[in-house]
Amino acid sequence: MDLRGEVNKALDSIRPFLQADSGDIELMDITQDGIVRVRLTGACNVCPLSVITLRAGIERSLLRQVPGIKRVESVSL
């Protein structure tokens, strides 16, 4: 499986928790140096705790599940 596939699989394991609170996550990009860029959608986009969710939940999970990932960043359109 390629890196993008591994990251999507890891995000799929997190997605039900976000969807339970009317939110979701979309993979936007993975840089050459291991930075995953995601877009939080739905309620997660406007939630004041989204930074905590990003660091303590999403980033921690991706670092554990996908070798080579260094950081997760949120981007907005």
Q: Which domains does the chain have, with CATH numbers?
A: 3-74 (3.30.300.130)
Of the two residues 46 and 10, the one the predictor is more confident about is 10
Report pLDDT digits (tens) over 30-47.
999 999 999 999 999 888
Taking 90 as the threshold, does the pLDDT of residue 1 lie above it? Answer: no
Q: What is the pTM of this model?
A: 0.90
Task: Report the distance separating Cα 76 and Cα 66, nearest Å.
Answer: 23
